[in-house]
Amino acid sequence: MGGTTPPNEARILIVGLGLIGGSLAAALRAAGFPGTPAEGSGPVEIIACDPDRSEIERGIEMGLIDSGDTRLTPLVEGATLIVLAVPVLAMRGVMAELAAALPPEALEGDSPRVAITDVGSTKAAVRDCALAAFGRLPAGLVLGHPIAGSEKSGVAAADPRLYVNHKVILTPAGETAPAAVARVKAMWCACGADVLQMDVDRHDQVLARTSHLPHLLAFSLVDTLARQDERLEIFRYAAGGFRDFTRIAGSDPVMWRDIFTANRDAVLASLDDFEAGLGRLRRAVEAGDGDAMLSIFDRASHARHYFDTLLNQTSYQAEYQMQEQGRLTFRAAPGGRVAGRIRVPGDKSISHRSIMLGALAEGITEVKGFLEGEDSLATLQAFREMGVAIEGPHQGRVIVHGVGMHGLKAPSGPLYVGNAGTAMRLFAGLLAGQAFDTELIGDASLTKRPMGRVADPLRLMGAKIDTAEGGRPPLKIHGGQALKGITYDMPMASAQVKSCLLLAGLYAEGETRVREPAPTRDHTERMLAGFGYEVQREGDTCWLRGGGKLTAAPIDVPSDISSATFFLVAAAITPGSNLVLEHVGINPTRIGVINILKLMGADLRLTNEREVGGEPVADLHIRYAPLKGIDIPVDQVPLAIDEFPALFIAAACANGTTRLRGAEELRVKESDRIQAMADGLATLGVEHTVREDGIDIVGSGKNSGKAKGASYGGGRIDSLGDHRIAMAFTVAALRAGAEIVIDDCANVATSFPGFTELARAVGLRVSEETQEVRA
């Protein structure tokens, strides 16, 4: 299997030579097994025990095993790895026989002479069998479960590729020797499997829902239809979906009887959940409640696609606490040109808010230009889980069936918001006023970001919120609290904090007033007004009164100026460039990047200015012009806080020094963006000085000491999983003297899906590579 080194065992004994055991033997043979025998032992063997002698004989004929017997005890001597591939209900007898045949010391110590593992679909039952047989859990016992199979059975169905790219879950106990776990893992890796670890009870709960319940339903459905008078007609005209779903009803009945018996409690719990859901759907059908049906169907359909996408991109660990399986790298060749006319994806901030406000509104909200990135999709999915019917997205179009201010329903589990700090902070305010409890979770990057800045003022309003150590996610929000309006002076300029408190203020008694020390983006205020909710502003303070309602309104999401920035900088630094970016949002609280680039000398013009849904938009036309270093005005910093990674690249290509101050907020983004960019600039050879609240960057213009037209060198950059760092250094390659390789770029999809394709379309030379990473 891809050159994987076979396990270093003297003899592997497979107990049960059916599909699973036979396929294991076939996979080991295909991997080049026998391998090197253990030190001091004779030739390596694969042997098997099965009560059916004909299966043993067939396994030998197929070349899968060297020998076998219908009796277990004679085969145990000399075996170093024993795999129990028997039905769960047969496990007690097999364990007892092994306990009698093996000397106790063979399974003990830091490096047991013998390791035992199994393939059972339930783990608690097998663990109980081991305790009954051995009186303890031996150090050499490693319980396991390959998530693979077929409706076929018997050694004749053995498939050497059955485990390739499939998960194998190991559930070692505290007593299990790490050396034994490593040996079992090596065996499964040799078969091409991805090996994970999980707690026994968690395993049984997860598999009851993802494997056992679907099998139970398939058996029941086929049995129900097969007992009807018109069954021949039913099966004759069954479509592909029916065949796909009911295929698993052809699985081994005895095996599944044993599984359902052994994992009874978890199966019944999952069946209870399913019956409750089926009851809700039945009531919706009986009542002709189209919105309720749409909510259920749409939530299910998009959950299937959404979680598939996240799992494949390794950014969401839904069922298993697994290590990342792959890492995305950008490889940007030096040079290139920038020209054309493009439209970048929709504004992420407005996309988030369009779903939030549309869900709370009365009526149907149609959204155009919705950003179909992971962050926005996470927000959309969260509202589906709270009972909101949402159609789409399809080519940027989303239709939200609003449930009103008090129509949200308690989700069945934590709400996952991915990498979206905006979503988590805005959700905190919105959910603080609900009647039900909720928990907000995110990916590894978001878990490191500070949430005390919203939790603390929400507590002043009467919210009850629990955070992890240091005020970090996850956030546990206790519903049913009576919120009261407050006057809050924000210690830092943050549109997310302001928006969080305004959303909480919708549910609070009295007025909620927020004063900001510097202007921040005002999308929330503008969009609330667009939904008919009065928000007032005077000077640096905005406020609203709780108890009102939102009325559905259409939204045309402008292109995201943060996404446009990478192409603005690309054109600004590359001689000969001529680029138009269409329908870009130019909200006055977001145009810091335009002002800063103009101060640096960029040839940038705004054309076709207009207003769409309360938000000003324009086409941005930019051509190359030499840039100069500047002292960035402090009043522009809050207006460009997300655009600075790209602006640092502009500064590196300018003549003279660019100085940034008052940008402490950059240190608590997806990464410490000041330090991350400084480290990358150092790799490229750009002179700079890091400050506590900013940075000085000495631009080189067209440095004659570099390659022709280059401002700096190349190198390998660690983006730290920060999408803006990754995209900034991709743009930097336009003026680099050598290739720039940027690691850990998967999160670019969170804000800018299709970035590399669009970059190539306007002339950048960038490609993507995925590298396998094993735990």
Q: Give me the pLDDT at residue 3, please.
A: 45
Please, is 257 exposed, middle or buried when counting C-beta atoms within 10 Å of its C-beta (0-12, 13-18, 19+)?
middle
Would residue 407 count as lying in a domain? yes
Are residues 144 and 47 part of one domain? yes
Would residue 211 count as lying in a domain? yes
Are residues 749 and 603 part of one domain? yes
Q: Which residues contact 487 (CB under 8 A, 6 or more apart)?
A: 511, 513, 515
Per-residue DSSP letter, 638 = G
Q: Quick one: tokens of 266?
A: 């978890």
Are residues 628 and 492 part of one domain? no
Which residue among 144, 171, 198 closes a domain? Answer: 198
Would residue 660 count as lying in a domain? yes
Instruction: Assign 509 a pLDDT band (cuts: 50, 70, 90).
Output: very high
Would residue 330 count as lying in a domain? no
Q: Give me the pLDDT at residue 33, please.
A: 61
Asked about 466 being catalytic, the answer comes back as no
Instruction: Assign 703 a pLDDT band (cuts: 50, 70, 90).
Output: very low
Are residues 262 and 124 part of one domain? no
For residue 290, give the H/E element and its range: helix 290-312
Per-residue DSSP letter, 14 = E
Are residues 513 and 605 part of one domain? no
Instruction: Residue 568: name the closest of 523, 533, 602, 543 by CA.
Output: 602
pLDDT in tens, 88-145: 888 999 999 999 999 989 999 999 999 999 998 889 989 999 999 999 999 999 999 9
> Is pLDDT above 90 for 531?
yes
448 is in an annotated binding site: no
Which residue among 198, 217, 244 closes a domain? Answer: 198
724 is in an annotated binding site: yes
d(C-alpha 415, C-alpha 408), whole Å: 13
Are residues 543 and 573 part of one domain? no
161 is in an annotated binding site: no
End-to-end CA distance of the chain: 18
Q: Give me the pLDDT at residue 646, please.
A: 97
Q: Quick one: tokens of 463?
A: 């919210």
669 is in an annotated binding site: yes
Host domain of residue 542: 351-553
Are residues 131 and 55 part of one domain? yes
E-strand ranges in 490-646 read 511-515, 536-538, 541-545, 555-556, 578-585, 603-612, 615-623
Which of 85-99, 132-146, 184-198, 297-311 shows the lowest per-residue confidence on average (mean pLDDT)? 297-311
d(C-alpha 130, C-alpha 91), whole Å: 9
d(C-alpha 554, C-alpha 532), whole Å: 12
Would residue 446 count as lying in a domain? yes
Are residues 614 and 486 part of one domain? no
Which of 18-22, 228-232, 267-271, 529-533 shows the lowest per-residue confidence on average (mean pLDDT)? 228-232
Domain harbouring 166, CATH code? 3.40.50.720
Sign of CA dihedral 143, 146, 149, 154: negative
d(C-alpha 455, C-alpha 470), whole Å: 11
Q: Quick one: tokens of 399?
A: 């239709």
> Is pLDDT above 90 for 392?
no
Q: In whole angstroms, how far apart are CA 673 and each of 23, 299, 665, 722?
A: 50, 36, 9, 8
Are residues 274 and 369 part of one domain? no
d(C-alpha 254, C-alpha 259), whole Å: 9
pLDDT in tens, 564-612: 999 999 999 999 999 999 999 999 989 999 999 999 999 999 999 998 8
> Is pLDDT above 80 for 8?
no
Which residue among 166, 198, 230 closes a domain? Answer: 198
751 is in an annotated binding site: no
Q: Give me the pLDDT at residue 303, please.
A: 67
Would residue 387 count as lying in a domain? yes
Q: Give me the pLDDT at residue 656, please.
A: 96
In this prediction the pTM is 0.60
8 A C-beta contact, residue 313 and residue 749: yes
Domain harbouring 638, CATH code? 3.65.10.10
Please, is 135 exposed, middle or buried when counting C-beta atoms within 10 Å of its C-beta (0-12, 13-18, 19+)?
exposed
Would residue 298 count as lying in a domain? no
Would residue 346 count as lying in a domain? no
Are residues 90 and 226 part of one domain? no
8 A C-beta contact, residue 151 and residue 110: no
Are residues 247 and 193 part of one domain? no
Domain count, the chain: 4
Q: Give me the pLDDT at residue 374, please.
A: 80
Marked catalytic residue, from 375, 642, 722, 744: 642
Are residues 246 and 224 part of one domain? yes
